[in-house]
């Protein structure tokens, strides 16, 4: 069983964002499995660096999506991303400097880092999108065109 398993309850409902979250799950699992398999710090550093880089890209993309859908908590969410990114970045710096001892707590931290953010904050965005879709139902263009001809 994977260290971090994807669950339906983590779905935000935006295909790209869900795919990116799953990719982040994969990186955290890779980091965990390589460590358990006895990989050296250099190999772990590479995975952590990929996690840092991919998180940055993912956060940017998520923030653009929020902006495009006029999410009112956009600024607050950006601040959360910034704090998450800095924590992750510091972790990678410590690993590169040889001052990080990777243990069970490190893995648990990474798992919680992602899962808690998705459950608490990304799903709030998901709720907002659902409410917004209900409030502005898509116009049925066929019906609109037919009544214009009458
Ligand atoms: Fe987010």
Distance 106 CA to ligand 1 centre (A): 21
Answer yes or no: is 149 within a domain.
Answer: no
CATH number of the domain to which 36 belongs: 1.20.120.50
Answer yes or no: is 48 within a domain.
Answer: yes
Distance 34 CA to ligand 1 centre (A): 26
* Cβ atoms of residues 117 and 82 within 8 Å: no
The one-digit pLDDT tens for each residue of the chain (150 residues) are: 899 999 999 999 999 999 999 999 999 999 999 999 999 999 999 999 999 999 999 999 999 999 999 999 999 999 999 999 999 999 999 999 999 999 999 999 999 999 999 999 999 999 999 999 988 776 554 554 454 444
Residues 6+ apart with CB under 8 A from 129: 13, 14, 69
Answer yes or no: is 125 within a domain.
Answer: yes
Answer yes or no: is 3 within a domain.
Answer: no
Answer yes or no: is 21 within a domain.
Answer: yes
Dihedral sign for Cα 131, 136, 140, 141, please. Answer: negative
- The range of the structural domain enclosing residue 111 comes to 14-134
* Cβ atoms of residues 12 and 21 within 8 Å: yes
Distance 148 CA to ligand 1 centre (A): 43
Q: How many distinct structural domains can be found in the chain?
A: 1
Distance 10 CA to ligand 1 centre (A): 12
Distance 86 CA to ligand 1 centre (A): 14
Dihedral sign for Cα 130, 121, 71, 63, please. Answer: negative
Q: What is the pTM of this model?
A: 0.87
Q: What is the pLDDT of residue 140?
A: 55
Tokens found for residue 100: 């990080």
Answer yes or no: is 100 within a domain.
Answer: yes
Answer yes or no: is 55 within a domain.
Answer: yes
Answer yes or no: is 53 within a domain.
Answer: yes
């Amino acid at each position: 069983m994977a260290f971090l398993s994807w669950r339906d309850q983590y779905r935000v409902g935006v295909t790209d964002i869900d795919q990116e979250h799953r990719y982040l799950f994969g990186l955290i699992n890779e980091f965990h499995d390589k460590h358990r398999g006895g990989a050296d710090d250099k190999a772990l550093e590479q995975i952590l660096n990929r996690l840092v880089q991919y998180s940055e890209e993912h956060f940017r993309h998520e923030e653009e999506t929020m902006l495009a859908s006029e999410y009112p908590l956009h600024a607050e969410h950006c601040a959360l991303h910034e704090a998450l990114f800095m924590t992750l970045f510091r972790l990678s710096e410590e690993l590169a400097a040889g001052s990080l001892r990777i243990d069970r707590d490190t893995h648990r931290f990474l798992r919680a880092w992602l899962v808690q953010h998705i459950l608490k904050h990304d799903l709030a965005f998901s709720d907002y999108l659902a409410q917004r879709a209900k409030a502005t139902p898509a116009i049925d263009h066929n019906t609109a065109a037919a009544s214009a001809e009458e």
